[in-house]
């Protein structure tokens, strides 16, 4: 009987081997995500570690194991796919950010948040771009053009709104929390918009007309993306309020909210707008209007489902980044010139610090001028906290760096490989040391 | 300014055209899903229509529009991918079936349900296989071998547990409901197990040894898949109970439950077992143990999230089937021999009726012998309802038919094309006329 069975099993075996590799990697990924959640929970009390760091470390360890078992050939299971990140992982994270934001504080400080998020990112990007343009020529990084420098500026101007929040407490410091959180989200969106704008222009032949086009494009993307998000959110509220009057069905409501949120993101992509901004404002409108038209159980369900999806997507990204951090292909270039790599990472860290200081303090000063009561003003101590809390670089930076400096997950140029490894170093360093 | 903007937009245009086709189809699909939910809700009062039929009809209409706009070339946006169905759409549907089943009624009638689901499916499959073997030779369907006939038996032995339930009411007829629902789920699992077993054996050279292997394989799959599901479910309950003692976090609990449910399915696929059975029993165990260890908001969230995911996955399948039903490639074969196609569909419908009658009445009789009180017995009227309610064929039949008779979404053989179109006809007919 045992012989029969084993024969039978080997039969089934042969049949499905073709896509068995993907089944193995899905299994490993899901198991790692579970492990991250459990370990992250166990370490919750600790001040020094959280789910993101756990996920990074677990990814690193798995990377080492894969590296050893495959004979130093590769450390990752799947090639980094932009589609995976931009179509499946990013939308729930950003939507949830919009959905969970404290709207009262957010709209009270709307102008400050928008100026921190939009103008601040531009300032930060400009300073980092100028800095790297000056420094990298001396460091012999490799052939990078002005488009690459601008892209580096955009990549490192993106703060990680998620990690950031683990330093602050919403109940103890509501003003700070809403400022840093709101800034983080607008900043995420701005840097993606900026990055796309840079990508789609031929910056090597910069002139007056192109600069104007660039600014026009930026504002067009910003305004129309926001409008699309607000409209989709309002439409969902209208549909649920008008059509479902008197007879509510939780499953339908939840399904409609999820699908319409996703639709807003995909519509923005369809019209070549910024899906990030759209889905963020769709989240705000949905939590402000749609959420109040649904049943009590729909409210609880949507609140936790969106948070859970966002949470899982983030952990997924961190495990992936941890696993990919050891990719031998990239480090081979670096090992030939370790000095350059350390120098690049240090320069980037210093520029991130400087770029952030260059807008937090002046913009806080301007914001304080507009406020009447002392209570609403941002004290110097608070400014320092805002500066420090927003220094972390996370998943969005990683995704943009991969988008810019790799093609289909592989790096062939020395300069590009150094940029990827430096991004990983900065993300690891700023996440762990804070 | 307008000229500048349009120039800018066309720039962005060019850059992202490569994967813009997939963005368009995702948009269309999400919009169609939203439309199905809204229209399905508006038509809820109607006895004659529901979400499944709405989705089918909307899919059909969209298919017609695509057919006209592409100049009669194709009616669908994406090629049917088994991976999409078996890795992403089926697990939430089956898990939710296990999660929402009324366990008290289910376990009280466990033996009846298992015999209906497992033995009934086998009987039904055998009768349909014998019937088509006899009839199809006379009808000149095309070159089909015994493996194909067995596959047809397995495909049409799968009832659609979802459509089925819209005829019955859980509160009015609890016994009938639990019997038909439980049977539907076990039946889904059995027909997939059976189908896989048939696929993996070379039935053309049938002999004593292979028959024994076949039965051994079937039982091995059945028992080990069930065990794996129960174990994963218990593990999730243990983790949540032990680790989370005293400090509950809804997002973590929900994420862990979702990930572990999915893990159970993927583990089964990893070990070449039946993911369907595994995830079904994992759902039962999770709703019986894990669900009682989590916070109140986790309970509400998981209940509705799983139901919503399952609901969306089903609608997705029906829209897809509706869209694909018009695929010109398949109907071209049929239009050459319309008589054969009508005859095949009619033969299949009659065999489905006969196959179901052949096990519902005898097994009910046997089940009644074992019951002591009159109240627990299944009356003749109830037997007729069970027989009639389980006649519908739905998404699982479609998916299996695609798996068997198409390669990468295309049909090249006449016999195969007729089988696909007949499956679509039977699904449409049995769903609409009931």
Return d(Cα B228, Cα B232) in angstroms, integer.
Answer: 6
CA torsion angle B145 B150 B156 B160 (round to 10): -130
Q: Is A295 helix (H, G, I), strand (E, B) or coil?
A: coil
Residues of B in contact with A44 (CB under 8 A): 247
In B, which residues are within 8 Å of A38 by CB distance? 239, 243, 256
Interface test with B, best of A2, A225, A257, A266 (most B CBs within 10 A): A266
Nearest to B321 by CA among B406, B424, B418: B424
Please tell me if residue B30 touches chain A, with a CB cutoff of 8 Å: yes
Per-residue pLDDT at B229 exceeds 90: yes
Residues of A in contact with B16 (CB under 8 A): 272
CA distance A54 to A63: 14
> How open is the CA angle B224-B225-B227, to the nearest 5 degrees?
65
Per the CB < 8 A criterion, the answer to whether A34 and B259 are in contact is yes
Does B262 reach chain A within 8 Å, measured CB to CB? yes
* Cβ neighbour number for residue B331 with a 10 Å cutoff: 18
Q: What is the pTM of this model?
A: 0.81
Which residues of chain A does B267 touch, with a Cβ-Cβ cutoff of 8 Å? 27
Given a contact cutoff of 8 angstroms between Cβ atoms, the answer to whether A54 and A39 are in contact is yes
Q: Is the distance from CB of A261 to CB of A279 less than 8 angstroms? A: yes
State the Cα–Cα distance between residues A204 and A187, nearest whole angstrom: 26
Q: How far are the Cα atoms of A184, A276, B433 from residue A222, in angstroms, in the given order?
A: 16, 10, 51
Distances in Å between the Cα of B184 and the Cα atoms of A28, A410, B98, B396, B398 are: 32, 48, 11, 11, 15
pLDDT of residue B36: 87
| Comparison of pLDDT for B368 and B391, the residue scoring more | B368
B416 vs A131, residue with greater confidence: A131
pLDDT-derived band of residue B72, with 50, 70 and 90 as boundaries? low
Across chain B, mean pLDDT equals: 76
The pLDDT of residue B77 = 61
At B13, the pLDDT band (50, 70, 90 cuts) reads very low
CB contact under 8 A, A217 and B12: yes
**Considering only CA atoms, which of A112, A188, A120 is closest in space to residue A387?**
A120
Q: Determine the residue of chain B that is closest to A83 in CA distance.
A: B19
Count the neighbouring beta carbons within 10 Å of the beta carbon of residue A357.
17
CA–CA separation, A365 and A379 (whole Å): 9
State whether residue A89 sits within 8 Å of chain B by CB.
no
Residue of chain B with shortest Cα separation from A236: B34
Closest CB from A83, A212, A300 relative to B19: A83
Residue B8 has pLDDT above 60, yes or no: no
Structure tokens at B295: 């916070």
Contact present, A61 and A319 (Cβ < 8 Å): no
Q: What is the ipTM of this complex?
A: 0.79
Question: Which of A386, A390, A392, A389 has its CA nearest to residue A368?
Answer: A386
Closest CA of chain A from B285, distance in Å = 18
DSSP A273: S
A with B: how many residue pairs have Cβ under 8 Å apart?
185
For residues B83 and B86, what is the distance between their CA atoms, to the nearest angstrom?
A: 5
User: Nearest CA of chain A to the CA of B294: how many Å?
Assistant: 13
Selecting from 3.20.20.80, 3.30.1360.10, 3.40.50.1000, 1.20.1530.20, what CATH number does the domain A50-432 have? 1.20.1530.20
H runs (alpha helix) in A43-89 = 51-69, 82-83
Nearest CA-CA distance, residue A311 and chain B, Å: 8
Candidate from A224-228, B127-131, B303-307, B378-382 with smallest mean pLDDT: B378-382
CA angle (A361 as vertex; A358, A366 as ends), nearest 5: 115
Hey, are the CB atoms on B249 and A1 less than 8 Å from each other?
A: no
Q: Of A19, A22, A272, which is closest to B16 when you measure between CB atoms?
A: A272
Question: B49-432, what's its fold?
Answer: Na+/H+ antiporter like fold (1.20.1530)
B356 pLDDT above the threshold of 50? yes
Distance CA B216, CA B222 (A): 10
Any B CB within 8 A of A217 CB? yes
Contact between residue A159 and residue A183 where contact means Cβ atoms under 8 Å apart: yes
Nearest CA in chain A to B45: A247
**Best CA proximity match to A191, nearest among A362, A408, A394:** A394
Highest mean pLDDT among A378-387, B48-57, B70-79, B178-187: A378-387
**In angstroms, rounded to a whole number, what is the distance separating the alpha carbons of residues B17 and B27?**
15
What is the C-alpha separation between B129 and A397, in angstroms, rounded?
58
| Chain B (316-335) residues lying within 8 Å, Cβ to Cβ, of chain A | none
Predicted confidence at residue A306, as pLDDT, reads: 92
Residues of chain A with pLDDT under 50: 1-18, 408-409, 434
A33 with A62: CB under 8 angstroms?
A: no
pLDDT of residue B17: 37
SS (H, E, C) chain B: CHHHHHHHHHHHHHHCCCCHHHHHHHHHHHHHHHHHHHHHHHCCCCCCCCHHHHHHHHHHHHHHHHHHHCCCCCCCCCCCCHHHHHHHHHHHHHHHHHHHCCHHHHHHCHHHHHHHHHHHHHHHHHHHHHHHHHHHHHHCCCCCCHHHHHHHHHHHCCCCHHHHHCCCCCCCCHHHHHHHHHHHHHHHHHHHHHHHHHHCCCHHHCCHHHHHHHHHHHHHHHHHHHHHHHHHHHHHHHHHHHHCCCCCCHHHHHHHHHHHHHHHHHHHHHCCCCHHHHHHHHHHHHHHCHHHHCCHHHHHHHHHHHHHHHHHHHHHHHHHHHHHCCCHHHHHHHHHCHHHHHHHHHHHHHHHHHHHHHHHHHHHHHHHHHCCCHHHCCCHHHHHHHHHHCCCCCHHHHHHHHHHHCECCECCCHHHHHHHHHHHHHHHHHHHCC
For an interface test with B, which of A8, A31, A236 has the most B Cβ atoms less than 10 Å from its Cβ?
Answer: A8
- Residue position matching structure tokens 């349909």: B128
265-294 in chain A: CB under 8 A from chain B: 266-267, 269-270, 272
Residue A307 in contact with partner chain B when CB distance is under 8 A: yes
Residue B306's closest chain A neighbor by CA? Answer: A251
Model confidence at B12, pLDDT cuts 50, 70, 90, reads very low
The A residues from 353 to 382 touching B (CB cutoff 8 Å) are none
CB of B400 closer than 8 Å to CB of B191: yes
Chain A hits for B23, Cβ within 8 Å: 266, 269-270
Cβ neighbours of A262 in B, within 8 Å: 30
Residue A413 backbone zone (phi > 0: left; psi -120 to 50: alpha; other: beta)? beta
Minimal-distance CA residue of chain B relative to A197: B12
Dihedral sign computed on CA atoms, order B145, B147, B153, B159: negative
Once rounded to an integer, what is the mean pLDDT over residues B226-244?
89
Instruction: Provide the mean pLDDT of chain A.
Output: 76
| Paired tokens of B340 | 């054969």
Joined together, the tokens standing for residue B162 give: 């979802």
**Residue spans per domain, chain A:** 50-432
Across the interface, of B217, B243, B263, the residue whose CB is closest to A41 is B243
Q: Which residues contact B392 (CB under 8 A, 6 or more apart)?
A: B159, B160, B163, B164, B430, B431, B434
- Closest chain A residue to B235, measured at CA: A34
Q: Is the model more confident about B238 or about B23?
A: B238
Question: Is A21 within 8 Å of chain B by CB?
Answer: no
* Best residue of A34, A84, A201, A308 to probe chain B, by most B CBs closer than 10 Å: A308
Residue B227 has pLDDT above 90, yes or no: yes
More confident residue, B265 or A162: B265
Q: Is the pLDDT of residue B219 over 90?
A: no
Give which of B354, B189, B399 is closest to B284, Cα–Cα: B189
Task: Return the residue of A nearest to B250 by Cα.
Answer: A304
B86-109 pLDDT, tens digit per residue, is: 788 888 988 988 888 777 777 888
Which of B41, B222, B297 has the most A C-beta neighbours within 10 Å, making it the best mutation to test the interface with A?
A: B41
d(CA B225, CA B268): 7
Under 8 Å between Cβ of A299 and A402: no
Q: What's the mean pLDDT in B108-128?
A: 84
């Amino acid at each position: 009987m045992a012989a029969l069975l084993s024969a039978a099993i080997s039969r089934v075996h042969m049949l499905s081997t073709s896509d068995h590799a993907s089944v193995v990697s899905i299994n490993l990924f899901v198991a790692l995500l579970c492990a991250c959640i459990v370990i992250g929970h166990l370490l919750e009390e600790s001040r020094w570690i959280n789910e993101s760091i756990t996920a990074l470390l677990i990814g690193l360890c798995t990377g080492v194991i894969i590296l050893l078992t495959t004979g130093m050939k590769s450390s990752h299971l799947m090639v980094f796919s932009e589609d995976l990140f931009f179509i499946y992982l990013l939308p729930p994270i950003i939507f949830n950010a919009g959905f969970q934001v404290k709207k009262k504080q957010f709209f009270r400080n709307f102008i400050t948040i928008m100026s921190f998020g939009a103008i601040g990112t531009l300032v930060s990007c400009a300073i980092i771009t100028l800095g790297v343009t000056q420094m990298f020529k001396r460091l012999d990084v490799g052939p990078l053009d002005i488009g690459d420098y601008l892209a580096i500026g955009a990549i490192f101007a993106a703060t990680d709104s998620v990690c950031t929040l683990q330093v602050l407490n919403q109940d103890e410091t509501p003003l700070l929390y809403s400022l840093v959180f709101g800034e983080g989200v607008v900043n995420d969106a701005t840097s993606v918009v900026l990055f796309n704008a840079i990508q789609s222009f031929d910056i090597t032949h910069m002139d007056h007309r192109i600069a104007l086009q660039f600014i026009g494009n930026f504002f067009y993307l910003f305004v129309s993306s926001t409008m699309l998000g607000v409209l989709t959110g309002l439409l969902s509220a209208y549909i649920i309020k008008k059509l479902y009057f008197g007879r509510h069905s939780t499953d339908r409501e939840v399904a409609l909210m999820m699908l319409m949120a996703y639709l807003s993101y995909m519509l923005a992509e369809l019209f070549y707008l910024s899906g990030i901004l759209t889905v963020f404002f769709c989240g705000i409108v949905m939590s402000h209007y749609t959420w109040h038209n649904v049943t009590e159980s729909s409210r609880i369900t949507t609140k936790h489902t969106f948070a859970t999806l966002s949470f899982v997507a983030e952990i997924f990204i961190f495990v992936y980044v941890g696993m990919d951090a050891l990719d031998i292909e990239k480090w081979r270039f670096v090992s030939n010139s370790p000095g350059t790599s350390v120098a690049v990472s240090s320069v980037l860290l210093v520029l991130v610090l400087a770029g952030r200081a260059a807008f937090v303090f002046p913009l806080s000063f301007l914001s304080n001028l507009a406020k009447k009561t002392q209570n609403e003003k941002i004290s110097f101590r608070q400014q320092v906290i805002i500066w420090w809390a927003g220094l972390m670089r996370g998943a969005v930076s990683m995704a943009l760096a991969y988008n810019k400096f790799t093609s289909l997950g592989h790096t062939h140029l020395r300069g590009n490989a150094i940029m990827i490894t430096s991004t990983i170093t900065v993300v690891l360093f700023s996440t762990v040391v804070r």
